[in-house]
Amino acid sequence: MEVRLRLHRAGAIVYYYHCRTFHPRFVEEDANHRGKLAVRSKMECNERKKGASVLKYFINSVLHHGKGAVFPIVVIALWEAASRQNYIPENLLPPPSDLLHAFVDLLASGNLKTHIVASMLRVVAGFSIGAFLAIVVGAALGFSRTLESYFDPTFQALRAIPSLAWVPLLLLWQGIGEAPKVTLIAIGAFFPVYMSLVAGIHNVDKKLVELGQVYGLSKFDQIHRIFIPASLPYMFTGLRTGLSLSWMFLVASELIAASEGLGYLLTDGRETARVDIVIITIILLALLGKLSDSLLKTIEHRVLSWRDTYVKEI
Task: Dump the DSSP string for 92-107.
Answer: TS--HHHHHHHHHHHH
CB atoms within 10 A of CB 19: 11
One-letter identity of residue 175: G
pTM, rounded to two decimals: 0.75
Q: Which range among 45-59, 102-116, 259-273 shows the weakest confidence by mean pLDDT? A: 45-59
Among 32-36, 40-44, 83-87, 157-161, top mean pLDDT goes to: 157-161
pLDDT in tens, 140-195: 999 999 999 999 999 999 999 988 889 889 988 988 889 999 999 999 999 999 99
Whether the Cβ atoms of residue 205 and residue 230 lie closer than 8 Å to each other: yes
Among 12-16, 31-35, 193-197, top mean pLDDT goes to: 193-197
Whether the Cβ atoms of residue 214 and residue 286 lie closer than 8 Å to each other: no
**DSSP-assigned states of every residue in the chain:** -HHHHHHHHHHHHHHHHHHHHH-HHHHHHHHHHHHHHHHHHHHHHHHHHHHHHHHHHHHHHHHHHHHHHHHHHHHHHHHHHHHHTTSS-TTTS--HHHHHHHHHHHHHHSHHHHHHHHHHHHHHHHHHHHHHHHHHHHHHHHH-HHHHHHHHHHHHHHHTS-HHHHHHHHHHHHTTSHHHHHHHHHHHHHHHHHHHHHHHHHTS-HHHHHHHHHTT--HHHHIIIIIHHHHHHHHHHHHHHHHHHHHHHHHHHTTTT-SSSHHHHHHHHHHTT-HHHHHHHHHHHHHHHHHHHHHHHHHHHHHTTT-----S--
Whether the Cβ atoms of residue 193 and residue 243 lie closer than 8 Å to each other: no
Whether the Cβ atoms of residue 248 and residue 256 lie closer than 8 Å to each other: no
Statement: residue 135 has pLDDT above 70: yes
Statement: residue 44 has pLDDT above 60: no
Quick one: pLDDT at residue 32? 57
pLDDT band at residue 252, thresholds of 50, 70 and 90?
Answer: confident
Distance (Å, whole) CA 155 – CA 194: 9
Distance (Å, whole) CA 247 – CA 257: 18
**72 vs 10: which has the higher pLDDT:** 72
Cα–Cα separations (whole angstroms), residue 148 to 6, 142, 160, 222: 96, 7, 18, 20
Q: Which residues contact 49 (CB under 8 A, 6 or more apart)?
A: none
Q: Which range among 21-25, 40-44, 66-70, 292-296 shows the weakest confidence by mean pLDDT? A: 21-25
pLDDT in tens, 191-250: 999 999 999 999 988 888 888 888 888 888 888 888 988 899 999 999 999 999 999 999
Q: What angle do CA 244, 239, 129 make, to 5 degrees?
A: 90
User: What are φ and ψ of residue 215, in 5° steps?
Assistant: -80, 5
Whether the Cβ atoms of residue 80 and residue 90 lie closer than 8 Å to each other: no
